[in-house]
Amino acid sequence: MIDEFKLINFIKNKFHSNFIGDDAAVIPINNSDVLIISSDILIEKVHFFVNEKNLSFIGSKALISNISDIVAMGVEPKLFFLNIGFPKNIGEKIKILIDGLYSIAKKYNIQIGGGDISKSEKLIISISIIGFSKKENIVYRSGALHGDDIWITGYLGDSEVGLRIIKEELNIPDKLKEYFIEKHYIKEIHFEFIPFLAFRHLINSMIDVSDGFLQDLSHILTKSNKRAFIYDSLIPVSTFYKKIKKFISKDYKKIPFISGEEYEIIFTASPENRKDIENIAKNFNVPITRIGKIKEGNNNKALIEMENFKIENFSTLGYKHFH
């Protein structure tokens, strides 16, 4: 089976494209302005399962994942295009999915520009999303510098727990289930906070946590030719996550590092900018945590070191298609 990332590289090389390699494509409009475009696809039974209760959630999540890609470049998205295919048995209920999508679009003031509709055997949602910015405000994965603090917004782990509950692989008290299931589908996007940090030029590199913290951090490190030291004990988890420790015991420490579809933001920044970043986060009411440091790259050493082990091979750490 072909590896997803190898296929992306194959396509990039085939087309000699400079637009592939970050969370979104950055297309110059003129000397100062750029257009940012990202595209994503969600497929039934690959990315989600459909049931009576979750169509609205699926619609919301489809747009959230796209918004996250644009925000992770330091840009507020403005417009999206929706392409959707669905089977006969969903029928009129597709409007519930659209309602879910609309609730997120309304929340973040994003308009729909068009798209396409088709019948298909499975439910498929593909969204392309657009933003505009000044080119000097764009933050790439490749900008991490030696000595940078590594920051993470929010908390990690809740999405994976929600997924395990949905797949009936984990049983926890009912009063906690709803929290985690909702966290799997709907995450708060730091819609203004992150672009504001980018506008202030306070951050050097950035990526959103979609495949998993370690796997996504590795993209920053590879692009920036750097290594990282991560302090396990500093990784932030929610109070709800702490409450279910006994139910996930041996996975308790591992889950935050591999939990995908979190849509939190990993960013790196000079220690000199700490106070400014913390003050801005406070003003926007966004929890942020410093969890490690960027080090110089060294081909002979592991990309990521944590307190108890080193990571050189990321192939099993996060979600990968075709594995």
Partner 1 sequence: MRVLIVEDEEDIKEILNDYFELLNIEVDSSSLGKVALDFIEKNRYNLILTDLKLPDISGYEIIKKAKEVNPNVCICVLSGFTDDNTKNIAKNAGADIFIEKPFSFSKIEEVINKCNDRWI
- Applying CB under 8 A, which residues contact partner 1? 149, 229, 231-234, 271, 274, 290-293, 307-308
Residues 323 and 311: their CA atoms lie apart, in Å, by 19
Which CB sits closer to partner 1, 28 or 271?
Answer: 271
Query: What is the nearest approach in angstroms of partner 1 to the Cβ of residue 229?
Result: 6
Residues 6+ apart with CB under 8 A from 200: 276, 280
Which CB sits closer to partner 1, 20 or 234?
Answer: 234
Which CB sits closer to partner 1, 4 or 232?
Answer: 232
CB atoms within 10 A of CB 61: 24
Query: What is the nearest approach in angstroms of partner 1 to the Cβ of residue 272?
Result: 12
Residues 255 and 253: their CA atoms lie apart, in Å, by 6
**Short-list 299, 237, 242, CA closest to 262:** 237
Query: What is the nearest approach in angstroms of partner 1 to the Cβ of residue 240?
Result: 21
* Structural contact between residues 195 and 203, judged by C-beta atoms closer than 8 angstroms: no
Which CB sits closer to partner 1, 22 or 149?
Answer: 149
Which CB sits closer to partner 1, 55 or 150?
Answer: 150
* Structural contact between residues 304 and 215, judged by C-beta atoms closer than 8 angstroms: no
Query: What is the nearest approach in angstroms of partner 1 to the Cβ of residue 251?
Result: 17
Residues 6+ apart with CB under 8 A from 218: 303, 304, 311, 314, 317
Query: What is the nearest approach in angstroms of partner 1 to the Cβ of residue 203?
Result: 16
Residues 13 and 312: their CA atoms lie apart, in Å, by 25
Which CB sits closer to partner 1, 12 or 290?
Answer: 290
Residues 191 and 76: their CA atoms lie apart, in Å, by 6
**Short-list 69, 47, 58, CA closest to 103:** 58
Query: What is the nearest approach in angstroms of partner 1 to the Cβ of residue 1?
Result: 37
**Short-list 214, 212, 233, CA closest to 307:** 233
Which CB sits closer to partner 1, 214 or 228?
Answer: 228
Query: What is the nearest approach in angstroms of partner 1 to the Cβ of residue 273?
Result: 13
Measured at the alpha carbon of residue 238, what is the angle toward residues 233 and 241, in degrees to the nearest 5? 90
